[in-house]
């Protein structure tokens, strides 16, 4: 059984997908979050501001599902430029310092809306 999860505090999907899917009441699969605010505005033009916003969107969706960052077991970080990895890592650690999920990070050639970063997450209930 699956159920869509939506938070009004995160941006609406920009395509035919859900913000997140709750699967069998055990796992939450959060779609890649780009650094748009809930009203669809880009959160800044640097990796610092954009990383903060992408993670805040994930936190909003987690909260809507009754979860927090400690429930996250895996993230995937997609970045436009891997030279931003150090800055992203510092900000990421501010949110995931206590419970470090497994993670993969990749440099990609382009992201939706030409943002600098996109982060997806998987959490457990």
Cβ neighbours of residue 120 closer than 8 Å, sequence gap 6 or more: 29, 30, 31, 32, 33, 75, 76
- CA dist 18 and 103 (Å) reads 22
Domain segments of the chain: what residues? 2-124
pLDDT of residue 61: 98
pLDDT of residue 85: 98
User: How much is the pTM?
Assistant: 0.97
* Percent of the chain surpassing pLDDT 70: 100
3-state DSSP helix/strand/coil % of the chain, to nearest 5: 30, 30, 40
On whether the CB atoms of residues 44 and 35 are closer than 8 A, the answer is yes
Q: Tokens 């650690």 label which residue? A: 93
Q: What is the pLDDT of residues 56-73, one digit of tens each?
A: 999 999 999 999 999 999
Confidence band, pLDDT 50/70/90 cuts, at residue 102: very high
Q: What is the mean pLDDT of the chain?
A: 97
pLDDT of residue 33: 98
CATH fold of the domain at 2-124: 60s Ribosomal Protein L30; Chain: A; (3.30.1330)
Tell me the HSE value of 119 on the side-chain side, using a 13 A CA sphere: 26
Q: What is the pLDDT of residues 5-22, one digit of tens each?
A: 999 999 999 999 999 999
Cβ neighbours of residue 93 closer than 8 Å, sequence gap 6 or more: none
Q: What is the mean pLDDT of residues 93-119?
A: 97
Confidence band, pLDDT 50/70/90 cuts, at residue 48: very high
């Amino acid at each position: 059984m699956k159920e869509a999860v939506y938070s009004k505090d995160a941006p609406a999907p920009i395509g035919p997908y859900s913000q997140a899917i709750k699967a069998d009441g055990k796992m939450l699969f959060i779609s890649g979050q780009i650094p748009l605010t809930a009203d669809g505005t880009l959160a800044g033009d640097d990796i610092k501001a954009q990383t903060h916003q992408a993670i805040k969107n994930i936190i909003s969706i987690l909260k809507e599902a009754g979860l927090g960052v400690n429930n996250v077991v895996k993230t995937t970080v997609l970045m436009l430029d891997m030279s931003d990895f150090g800055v992203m890592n510092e900000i990421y650690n501010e949110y995931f310092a206590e419970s470090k999920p497994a993670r993969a990070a990749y440099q990609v050639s382009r992201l939706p809306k030409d943002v600098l970063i996109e982060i997806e997450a998987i959490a457990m209930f």
